[in-house]
Amino acid sequence: MRQDLIYFDNAATVWPKPECVYRFMDQFYRTHGVNPGRSGYDLAIEAGSMLANLRQRLTKFFGGDEDTPERLIFSYNVTDALNLIIPGLLDAGDHVITTNLEHNSVIRPVNHMVRDHRCEATYLPFDSAGFIDPKDVRKAIRRNTKVVIVNHGSNVIGTVQPLREIGSICREHGLTFVVDSAQSAGIIPIRMKEMDVDVVAFTGHKALMGSMGIGGLCVRKHVEVRQVRAGGTGVRSVESYHLEEYPWRLEFGTPNLVGVAALWAGQDWLDEHGVERVYAHEMRLASKLVEGLRAIDGVQLYCCDNLQNHLSTILMNIAGVDPADVGTILDVDHNIATRTGLHCAPLVHRQLGLVENHGGVRFSVGAFNTDAEVDAAIHGVSEIARWARERAVKPAKVVPIAPAEEQPVRLMA
Ligand X SMILES: Cc1ncc(COP(=O)(O)O)c(C=O)c1O
Judged by CB under 6 A, the chain residues 135 through 154 that form the site for ligand X are 151
Q: What angle do CA 102, 139, 95 make, to 5 degrees?
A: 60
Q: How far is the CB of 237 from ligand X (least distance, A)?
A: 30
* Residues of span 307-346 touching ligand X by CB under 6 A: none
Residues with Cβ < 8 Å from 403, sequence gap 6 or more?
none
**# of chain residues touching ligand X (CB under 6 A):** 13
- Work out the burial of residue 89: count CB atoms within 10 Å of its CB; fewer than 13 is exposed, 13-18 middle, 19 or more buried: buried
Nearest CB to ligand X, comparing residues 101 and 318: 101
Task: Please tell me whether residue 362 binds ligand X under the rule CB under 6 A.
Answer: no
Q: Where are the alpha helices (H) located in 226-314, listed in sequence order?
A: 257-273, 275-294
Which of 10, 59, 105, 161 binds ligand X (CB under 6 A)? It is: 105
Nearest to ligand X of 13, 39 (CB atom): 13
Please report whether residue 78 would count as binding ligand X according to CB under 6 A. yes
Q: Which stretch, 62-70, 73-81, 89-97, 370-378, contacts ligand X (CB under 6 A)? A: 73-81
Is position 103 an interface residue for ligand X (rule: CB under 6 A)? Answer: yes
Burial of 42 (0-12, 13-18, 19+ CB in 10 A): exposed
> For residues 221 and 211, what is the distance between their CA atoms, to the nearest angstrom?
27
Element (H, E) at 31: helix 19-32
Of the pair 83, 176, the CB lying nearest ligand X is at 83
- Shortest distance in whole angstroms from residue 143 CB to ligand X: 29
Binding mask 213-232 for ligand X (x = CB under 6 A): --x-----------------
Is 75 near ligand X (CB under 6 A)? no
**Residue 154: CB minimum distance to ligand X, A:** 7
Residue 217 or 378: which CB sits closer to ligand X?
217
Q: Is the dihedral of CA 231, 233, 237, 242 positive or negative?
A: negative
Interface region with ligand X, contact rule CB under 6 A, candidates 178-186, 227-235, 255-263, 265-273: 178-186
- Shortest Cβ distance from residue 274 to ligand X (Å)? 23
Q: Alpha helices, DSSP H only, in 124-221?
A: 134-140, 163-173, 192-195
Q: In sequence order, which ranges of 174-227 are alpha helices (DSSP H)?
A: 192-195
Binder to ligand X among 10, 59, 79, 161 (CB under 6 A)?
Answer: 79
Of 77 and 338, the one with the shorter C-beta distance to ligand X is: 77
Considering the complex, what minimum distance in angstroms separates the CB of residue 205 from ligand X? 6
Q: Which of 59, 77, 338, 369 binds ligand X (CB under 6 A)?
A: 77
Question: Is 227 within 8 Å of 250 (Cβ atoms)?
Answer: yes
User: Does 182 contact ligand X by CB under 6 A?
Assistant: yes
Judge whether 90 and 118 are in contact, CB under 8 Å.
yes
Rounded to a whole number of angstroms, the minimum distance from the CB of residue 386 to ligand X is 32
Cα separation of 202 and 41, whole Å? 31
With respect to ligand X, which residue has the nearer C-beta, 78 or 388?
Answer: 78
Closest CB to ligand X among 315 and 384?
315
Is 129 exposed, middle or buried, given 0-12, 13-18 or 19+ CB atoms closer than 10 A? middle
Phi-psi region of 298 (alpha: psi -120 to 50; beta: other; left: phi over 0): left
Q: Does 183 bind ligand X (CB under 6 A)?
A: yes
Q: Rounded to whole angstroms, how far apart are CA atoms 107 and 314?
A: 22
- Minimum CB–partner distance for residue 125 and ligand X (Å): 17
- C-alpha distance across the termini of the chain, in Å: 57
Nearer to ligand X, 64 or 216 (CB): 216
Residues that bind ligand X (CB under 6 A): 12, 77-79, 103, 105, 151, 155, 180, 182-183, 203, 215
